[in-house]
Structure 1
Amino acid sequence: MSAAVSTDGRETGTALDIRGLTTTYGAVRALDDVSFAVPSGRITAVLGANGAGKTTLLRTISGLVPATSGTVALGSHDLSRTPAERMPGLGLAHVPEGRGVITEMTVEENLRLGGLGRRTGTEPVPLERVFDLFQVLGERRHGVAHQLSGGERQMLVIGRALMASPTVLLLDEPSLGLAPRIVAQILDLLGGLARDEGLTVLLVEQNARSALSVADRGVVLSLGRVVADESAATLAGDDQLRHAYLGF
């Protein structure tokens, strides 16, 4: 995949290339011929109303839901034909909605689990690296996860995903039910990881305003189809599209 230099001077290529992706549940097309490219080292926000197909898109990319047709290319790998359990080894990490920590285990034990399926050919990510990113987790490293607040659990599931040393992070509704201050902290962290360390983030987010504030690009879905694929700044400035699809 060729690289290009963007207006901010950073070199970028394509991390995920999604072509003609269709996913059905019985007679219902949750995704209908979805095509777009996810640039490397950037945050791409997937936006749209409830039922637009956002979560299905992430679940199809990560192999949790089989694609009916189409392809998802991560380098030379067609993820649409790859079992979900192989995704971490290829560099893809998925943080689904719901903050699924193992509540009986400690913070440290949860994080160590994330490192077991790390990207092939990489060294284990030091625990201290995650504790540097999320200092509150370091303070609670020996505490059991059920004692964490909602925001702390969200930090833990993101930290656990980062332990696998992914190149691409799929993140589903990280702001759901969290205080605005915690949401801003998490989104700022993601922006830093993309900008400074080259992590590619595909972010599904109901709060379109917050997502566009940190994203480089935005893809808008409606009834399983792509209705817009533009820079975040362009989408944020399109009053007609925002009112029709994004709710602000």
Structure 2
Amino acid sequence: MLTLHELSTSYGPVKALQQVSFTAREGEITAVLGANGAGKTTLLRTVSGLQRADSGTIELEGRRLGKVAADRMPGLGMAHVPEGRGVITELTIEENLRLGGLGRGRRVQPADLDRVYDLFAILGDRRAALAHTLSGGERQMLVIGRALMAGPRMLLLDEPSLGLAPRIVAQIFDLLRGLVQSDGLSVLLVEQNARSALSVADHGVVLNLGRVVADDDAATLAADDQLRHAYLGF
């Protein structure tokens, strides 16, 4: 689904990613793990076109993205949920969701909204409420729902568990697992909570100071005590 080859990205003199190569397979959750400053968020920003790479290639379903602008990514089947649960607080839940469908180049249909409301019943119950009234967990549901409105085949998720109660985190991860199994969605998941991420992921990639230090099945990474203690914090 997504292939990175020797991808390097800098912020001025700082090398944030250094020759990163791995593949995120179709219909799987690939977790990108590592400590703060490892390059995880930069990786997603580079893949989605928000940050330009210095060198290397990014291919989505065999298509080289090159200099494709970020606003064209939804039309190619990719949606990015950045860290921070950024909703437009002055708009209602439904208005926020409708914005997510704009990148597909066609009018949002009632069935598109109903699908998100089926996934997140609490959003459907409060569809006319302003987004500023939502809790942190509800905002995370809204930004994921907004991304799904674009009908992506590849979903990039940056720290969806940050600051949320374990119960809400489990609910969101269960939802992701369900979308992968039922819809064949592919997910690139950046997570600080390595234990939770590996429990839901099929595959894992560990970054350290912008370089890949491990790339293997999630269960294999979780069972590697030396790797966990050195890079994953559990």
What is the TM-score with the length of structure 2 in the denominator?
Answer: 0.97
Instruction: For residue 196 of structure 1, report the CA deviation from its aligned partner.
Output: 1.3
Matched, 1:90 2:90: no
Q: Which residue identity does 2:60 align to in structure 1?
A: L
Task: Determine if contact 2:102/2:108 at 8 Å carries over to the other structure.
Answer: no
| Equivalent residue, structure 2, for 1:7 | none
Greater relative contact order (CA < 8 Å, ≥ 6 in sequence): 2
1:80 counterpart SS class? coil
| Equivalent residue, structure 2, for 1:39 | 25
Matched, 1:153 2:139: yes
Distance in 1, Cα, partners of 2:82 & 2:155: 11
Instruction: For residue 79 of structure 1, report the CA deviation from its aligned partner.
Output: 2.0
1:166 counterpart SS class? coil
Instruction: For residue 246 of structure 1, report the CA deviation from its aligned partner.
Output: 0.1
Per-residue CA deviations over 1:82-137 (Å, capped at 9, x if unaligned) read 1111101000000000001000000000001101112x689855211000000000
| Equivalent residue, structure 2, for 1:204 | 190
What 5-or-longer segments of structure 2 have no aligned partner?
none
Task: Determine if contact 2:101/2:107 at 8 Å carries over to the other structure.
Answer: no
| Equivalent residue, structure 2, for 1:18 | 4
Per-residue CA deviations over 1:57-103 (Å, capped at 9, x if unaligned) read 00000000000000110124222321111101000000000001000
What 5-or-longer segments of structure 1 have no aligned partner?
1-14
Matched, 1:126 2:112: yes
How many percent of aligned residue pairs carry the same amino acid?
72
Task: Determine if contact 1:66/1:80 at 8 Å carries over to the other structure.
Answer: no
Q: Which residue identity does 1:202 align to in structure 2?
A: L
**Number of residue-to-residue matches in the alignment:** 233
Pairwise CA RMSD:
1.3
Q: Which residue identity does 1:210 align to in structure 2?
A: S
Q: Which residue identity does 2:150 align to in structure 1?
A: A
Going from structure 1 to structure 2, the CA distance change for 1:61 and 1:141 (only over 3 Å counts) comes to: same
Matched, 1:168 2:140: no
Distance in 2, Cα, partners of 1:40 & 1:17: 11
Task: Determine if contact 1:70/1:80 at 8 Å carries over to the other structure.
Answer: no
Runs of 4+ displaced beyond 6 Å:
120-123
| Equivalent residue, structure 1, for 2:218 | 232
The structure 2 residue matched to 1:111, chosen from 83, 94, 97, is: 97
